[in-house]
Amino acid sequence: VNQILLLLLVLTVCAILYNKVHKVPSSIKNEAADLESPEEMEEEIPVVICAAAGRMGAAIAAISSIYSNTEANVLFYVVGLKNTIPHIRKWIENSKLKEIKFKVVEFNPMVLKGKIRQDASRPELLQPLNFVRFYLPLLIQKHEKVIYLDDDVIVQGDIQELYDTKLAPGHAAAFSDDCDLPSTHEMVRSVGMQNTYMGFLDYRKQAIRDLGISPSTCSFNPGVIVANMTEWKHQRITKQLEKWMQRNVEENLYSSTLGGGVATSPMLIVFYGKYSTINPMWHIRHLGWSPDTRYSEHFLQEAKLLHWNGRYKPWDYPSVHTDLWENWFIPDPSGKFKLTRPES
């Protein structure tokens, strides 16, 4: 019996010594877990881009430029109509973009029924996807902060910088002020662009005058948005935008014959005096307003984001600074989308 007890004692001591030697401190275990899964600790950056029929190459170039210029954990929300979704998905999955993280989201144009006043002067501005930015919380469920980009942009900087834009308390969004960059003022004057509320709203209408907004107030461009989804929902921004869309149908308060068409104007009203500003170099615009007016190459190289807003798009002809855009374009594997060039 004594020998058995002695043997058990020896085995117990050996077991204690073994555990002390081989036990890994919990702090080391946690550090090892962190090293194994760094992406779990990295904040996801949601970027919303629309893929419209006839201009899907624009969305592809925008996504390509973002993906190539950042190490951030970007999740692309590619928004399309039901009949275009298979095409854009195939384009992404059969190109070098197959490595990106993305979700294809279908936008139902029925939400716009009765809210858009038909206008024949610029019918392209009435396309349903132009209004996706009004409905961000309905499309993007799990994110607190979201970036929305028009498809006719390329990003030359790290998208993390844009995502880090600070929004003031109570602000649901940040935009680029149309009076923010002196270097663009000459271009604005030379091609007759509008950069005040007078260029977007019809001040002959009593409903507009009742807003108490000076017509000389500087406008902003909603082609690049950094949005706070909590504030957006709390302030019922979507409902406010829809209200002004409905009023425009009834009273013709703005139209596509004015500066920014039908998507900019309700945003100018709803966000008046209640938005933060984006670094001017993160939204160099007006590249699509004239086929003859050009920025200096040095200025464009310094820019973080280029925007071909206007009629003259870089995948069409004529247009300006197309070489900068084509750097990021990826040909359509199906061959359906083709660039329009003089030689073609």
In DSSP notation, 191-216 reads TT---BGGGTS-TTSHHHHTTT--TT
Give the side-chain half-sphere CA count within 13 A for 216.
Answer: 0
CA distance 196 to 1: 100
Amino acid at 234: H
Average pLDDT over residues 1-24: 58
H/E segment holding residue 248: helix 237-251
Nearest alpha carbon to residue 66 among 82, 48, 88: 48
pLDDT of 261 > 50? The answer is yes
Average pLDDT over residues 9-33: 49
Average pLDDT over residues 44-56: 96
**How much is the CA Rg of the chain, to the nearest whole Å?**
26
pLDDT of 7 > 80? The answer is no
Amino acid at 342: P
CA distance 312 to 297: 19
CA distance 281 to 151: 18
Q: Are 305 and 282 in contact (CB under 8 A)?
A: yes
Q: Are 102 and 194 in contact (CB under 8 A)?
A: no
Q: Specify the pLDDT at position 15.
A: 62
Q: Are 287 and 308 in contact (CB under 8 A)?
A: yes
pLDDT of 110 > 90? The answer is yes
The one-character DSSP state at 341 is -
Torsion sign over Cα 260, 266, 267, 268: positive
Helix (H, G, I), strand (E, B), or coil: what is residue 220? strand
Banded model confidence at residue 50, pLDDT cuts 50, 70, 90:
very high
Q: What is the pTM of this model?
A: 0.85
Q: What φ, ψ does residue 104 adopt, rounded to 5°?
A: -95, 125
CA distance 191 to 177: 18
CA distance 231 to 237: 9
Q: Specify the pLDDT at position 174.
A: 98
CA distance 332 to 51: 13
| Peptide bond connecting 128 to the previous residue in cis, omega within 30 degrees of 0 | no
Residues whose CB is less than 8 angstroms from the CB of residue 262 and which lie 6 or more positions away in sequence, other chains included: 116, 117, 119, 125, 126, 130, 245, 248, 254, 255, 256
Average pLDDT over residues 132-139: 96
What is the tens place of the pLDDT at every residue in 152-200?
999 999 999 999 999 999 999 999 998 866 656 555 555 556 788 988 9
CA distance 146 to 256: 27
pLDDT of 37 > 80? The answer is no
Residue 25 CB neighbour total at 10 angstroms: 8
In the chain, what are the domains?
Answer: 45-182+189-327 (3.90.550.10)
The one-character DSSP state at 58 is H
